[in-house]
Structure 1
Amino acid sequence: MEAVDPDDAVDIVIVGAGLAGLAAAHQLKGAGLRVRVLEAAPQVGGRMRTERVDGYRLDRGPGLFSMGEDTEGFERLPALDPLALRPFAPGAVLHADGRTHKLTSPANRRQPEPREGRPGRESAGRSRTGRATRTGIARFDRHTRGTRGALTAARALTGARSRADMSEALDLARLRAALARFAAQPAEGLLARPELPAAQALSARGLPSRTVDTLVQPLLTALLSDPGLTTSSRVADLTLRGFARGGLCVPAGGQAAVPELLAAALPPGTLLTGVRVTSVSTHAVTTERHGTFGCEAVLVATGARSAAGLLPGLRVPGFHPVTVLHHATDESPPHGPSFVVSAEAEGAGPVSHTWVTSAVDPSRAEPGRTLVTSVVLGEQAAEPPALLDKAARQQLTGVYGACADRWELLAAYHDPDAVPAMPAPHDPRRPVRVLSGLYVCGDHRDTSSPRGALSSAERATREILRDFGRPTVREDTRATAAA
């Protein structure tokens, strides 16, 4: 701060150095505007933070990205060129009633290999031309039409012989066929469907209630961090589509790698941390201990509560609370780099989903050690860490088939505002322009995902450039093409 004069003229002051704020800073600087970013915390990232504990890298939030859906926007930010993404195994593992069920990819698609230096440009299920491959989807749908076809597919998928095995295999076959349809459906088609709460919409999707209750709801709950499934059915449909098309991944080294790369690529003096903003106007930002920063416009890129505090009248959404548990062990639990969803009956345990983090990204753990991450959702997430840990260990013992009593609890991170709620009806394009000179962005203005944060930042950037009389990126691209 000693080297920065608050009176130095800038065009835009951005409040908040999370994903949205940092992305907007790069886009605005790329358009030739002078930018300053103010962050109240001592580090960047907002909710995308990674702590280093005893040699482990622990994400404070779930830190999962949808390959292709969330990471598509990364490719428009050159600062993220060095980012490496670590994909999960295709599909998911569903654990129910003491049994494990493998949900494989819905079509003839190959999961992208781990990439060093750039996010995968060809997401799973895409050809070199960028079009989704549909041959396997169509073939599978034909074989699963009707009970006889579904039974045939179930036998082929699992080799099941007993009646119970056949019932479970049939449920998996139905779910796999449903995901295949989602993967093949264009986004516009899903958005054209009637909008309902996700739980209500599931009953109208043509799947038996048993399949919905035991498989679809637990999977969707994990993907949305919404145990009540009050989320808009349109958001839920797009989430399932993204999961079916690309699967899940994590950034190598922790989710903080994303904002840290963006911050490091900004010119010296652009980003100031430890600066708490108390009020904003169209031409000034007042801070708690560092004076007033003059500017021509302000972009508030904080979380929803902080944004409403700076911009009175801004609606604060509800939130889905989340607690993330990190355990270390010398053992190597099964399931490898799989996304494991607990589909147990209510009361079986607090964990919604879990994964062996060090199997997905070996850089997260000490050599020879294993890091297991588990997520608790809803009201249970607010319980004391000691109680959660005790209940989670019993559940994880069943999920992984290894005694979790000897595992070491490294950290329990609770965030009551982890995921902004998106109940129906949900507007994924909430206004980002408060008035000329005052703007707001963040996942709470779009969808509660990295993609939503980046999308809102892009929309805010376009509004700012338009008010400044500058061509937007798309307008500039069209002008270049016309020339």
Structure 2
Amino acid sequence: MAATSEAPPDAVVVGAGLAGLACAGDLLRAGLSVRVVEASDGVGGRMRSDRHEGFVIDRGFQVFNTSYPQVKRRLTLRALKLRPFTAGVLVHTERGRLRFTDPTRAPHRLGDLRPGRLGSARDLLALGMLSARDALGPVEPLKRAEDRTTRTALSAAGFSEEFIEWLFRPFLSGVFLEDELETSSRFFHLVWRSMVRGTLCLPARGIGAVPAQLAAGLPAEVVSWDRPVERLTDDGVLLASGQEIAAPAVVVATGPGAAASLLPGLVVPASRVVTTYYHATDGRAPLGEPTLLIDSGRRFLNTCVLSEVQPGYAPAGRHLIATSVLGTDEPGREALLRAALAEVYDTGTDGWELLTVRTVPDALPAMPPPQPLGRTARVGPGRYVCGDHRATGSVQGALASGARAARTVLRDLVSST
């Protein structure tokens, strides 16, 4: 077993996703020495972006929400060169495409909300009350509220089954990566609050620019990649290369599967699986606006012309369309999806080029009620864990979990000296 000749750090963080980078940053700012070891070839975890034939391909369709407290605290938004999605969605229905727009962002679209077009007067009143309460009220009552399924909460809020089925169910399926509205109502209210208060955007260089900015704020020698960890030892971590890094604190900041492997006995939630198909086309954009399109028939989670949001996602004269579905890629699935896209975009799709398909096995943790909004970081003496599977399935959850782990490490190391 080879040992490193470097002075041992105070903490080793395993994984350079959002949680690991946040944890490392907080520990460094507190004066500790830290090493971050990442198994893959770069930082970001699930928030990675690749260049493919001149296109920016995020590893799964993702959006960036500007309203998260951890985002405001840690990131320089101007440097990301964000461009927004439309504040609303287009819903493909049997009656054609219907537009649902936040009237506070687009007052000229207020007519879209007239009763009978998108829903009854009762549904629209319930929607206004829900949005006002979640966005304008204090956050603590939302966190402490009785937890139940999102479907139950929506029904209790006064929404008709028809309105839930044609709007909430297809829209939230793309948010929660499940199509039964079985996700925690506490989490739903927090997500709805963040959407009403914030703006959904994409960075100019892809979603991977977010963790890249966090990593750029760390000293260059702190993070190393292509350094998979074989196991934890009594003194620290053993890398697959045979090198051991000793440290009094080890923070496992990986996805749930790897975390359970490195920390036997760790209970992890089930994971949602999502697959995103990336198509390219020339000529006129199939939808000439940066708007998310959902399907009331739930043949897919959502679809969007990403190059309408960020033109740099596609070479000049070309367009990039991302469409996500639950589960994995299967034979014949893309052909069925292509037929559905022809209908919802009202255009031929036979000539669309399938650029690539990305499946994310651990895209989000399942969050049925009762859903704790945070779990303890300490799992044993000198052993800690963080990640969105220890909080909520969101950028906010991942960053907050990393911060919680750092606070716990600092308390423990200070108390032991």
Q: Distance in 1 between matches of 2:155 and 2:127?
A: 17
Compute the displacement of 1:88 (Å): 0.7
Structure 1 stretch displaced more, 14-23 or 85-94: 85-94
Compute the displacement of 1:12 (Å): 0.8
Q: Distance in 2 between matches of 1:181 and 1:264?
A: 38
Compute the displacement of 1:5 (Å): 4.2
Residue in 2 that maps onto 1:332? 285
Q: Choose from 88, 91, 102 the match for 2:88.
A: 91
What residue identity is the alignment partner of 1:304?
P
1:13-52 alignment to 2 at 5 Å? 13-52=12-51
Compute the displacement of 1:442 (Å): 0.4
Compute the displacement of 1:201 (Å): 2.5
Compute the displacement of 1:191 (Å): 2.7
Q: Distance in 1 between matches of 2:242 and 2:308?
A: 45
What residue identity is the alignment partner of 1:306?
A
CA-to-aligned-CA distance 1:349-395 (integer Å, 9 cap, x gap): 3x111111011111111011111111102xxx2241x5221111111
Q: Choose from 210, 214, 222 the match for 1:258.
A: 210
1:353-372 alignment to 2 at 5 Å? 353-372=302-321
Q: Distance in 2 between matches of 1:223 and 1:418?
A: 11
Q: CA RMSD in A?
A: 2.4
Q: Distance in 2 between matches of 1:437 and 1:83?
A: 36
Compute the displacement of 1:468 (Å): 2.1
Asked if 1:202 corresponds to 2:175, the answer is no
SS in 2 for 1:454: helix
Compute the displacement of 1:23 (Å): 1.5
Residue in 1 that maps onto 2:328? 382
Q: Tell me the TM-score normalised to structure 1 length.
A: 0.79
1:259-274 alignment to 2 at 5 Å? 259-274=211-226
Compute the displacement of 1:262 (Å): 2.4
Q: Distance in 2 between matches of 1:196 and 1:100?
A: 31
Asked if 1:462 corresponds to 2:407, the answer is yes
Q: Distance in 2 between matches of 1:63 and 1:181?
A: 27
Distance 1:175 1:366, change over 3 A: farther
Residue in 2 that maps onto 1:170? 120
1:397-416 alignment to 2 at 5 Å? 397-416=342-361
Residue in 1 that maps onto 2:61? 62
Residue in 1 that maps onto 2:70? 73
CA-to-aligned-CA distance 1:226-268 (integer Å, 9 cap, x gap): 2122211111121122222224222221111112222233223
CA contact (8 A) 1:19 1:259 kept: yes
What residue identity is the alignment partner of 1:8?
A
Compute the displacement of 1:397 (Å): 1.3
What residue identity is the alignment partner of 1:423?
P
Compute the displacement of 1:308 (Å): 0.9
What residue identity is the alignment partner of 2:111?
L
CA contact (8 A) 1:179 1:241 kept: yes
CA contact (8 A) 1:103 1:176 kept: no
CA contact (8 A) 1:175 1:215 kept: no
Compute the displacement of 1:81 (Å): 6.5
Q: Distance in 2 between matches of 1:319 and 1:276?
A: 22
Distance 1:75 1:158, change over 3 A: closer
Structure 1 stretch displaced more, 233-242 or 197-206: 197-206
Q: Distance in 2 between matches of 1:75 and 1:190?
A: 21
Compute the displacement of 1:42 (Å): 1.5
Asked if 1:242 corresponds to 2:198, the answer is no
CA-to-aligned-CA distance 1:196-215 (integer Å, 9 cap, x gap): 12223222121111111111
SS in 2 for 1:42: coil
SS in 1 for 2:36: strand
Q: Distance in 1 between matches of 2:149 and 2:119?
A: 28
Residue in 2 that maps onto 1:426? 371
What residue identity is the alignment partner of 2:370?
P
CA contact (8 A) 2:149 2:185 kept: yes
What residue identity is the alignment partner of 2:204?
A
Instruction: Could you tell me which runs of 5 or more consecutive residues in structure 2 were left unpaired when the two chains were aligned.
Output: none
Q: Tell me the TM-score normalised to structure 2 length.
A: 0.91
Q: Choose from 163, 166, 180 the match for 1:214.
A: 166
Q: Distance in 2 between matches of 1:5 and 1:187?
A: 47
Q: Distance in 2 between matches of 1:159 and 1:176?
A: 11
Structure 1 stretch displaced more, 73-82 or 84-93: 73-82
CA-to-aligned-CA distance 1:152-207 (integer Å, 9 cap, x gap): xx9x72497xxxx9353537735642434433343223233321122232221211
Aligned length: 409
CA contact (8 A) 2:84 2:200 kept: yes
Compute the displacement of 1:51 (Å): 1.7
Q: Distance in 2 between matches of 1:228 and 1:430?
A: 25
Q: Distance in 1 between matches of 2:125 and 2:311?
A: 34
Matched-pair identity in %: 38
Asked if 1:188 corresponds to 2:140, the answer is yes
Instruction: Could you tell me which runs of 5 or more consecutive residues in structure 1 were left unpaired when the two chains were aligned.
Output: 111-135, 137-153, 471-483
CA contact (8 A) 2:275 2:329 kept: no
SS in 2 for 1:168: coil
SS in 2 for 1:429: coil
CA contact (8 A) 2:126 2:158 kept: no
Compute the displacement of 1:447 (Å): 0.2
Residue in 1 that maps onto 2:388? 443
What residue identity is the alignment partner of 2:343?
G
Compute the displacement of 1:439 (Å): 1.0
Q: Distance in 2 between matches of 1:188 and 1:326?
A: 39
Compute the displacement of 1:217 (Å): 1.5
CA contact (8 A) 2:100 2:112 kept: no
SS in 2 for 1:82: helix
Q: Distance in 1 between matches of 2:87 and 2:310?
A: 15
CA contact (8 A) 2:256 2:362 kept: no
Structure scoring higher RCO (CA < 8 A, sep ≥ 6) equals 2
CA-to-aligned-CA distance 1:130-169 (integer Å, 9 cap, x gap): xxxxxx9xxxxxxxxxxxxxxxxx9x72497xxxx93535
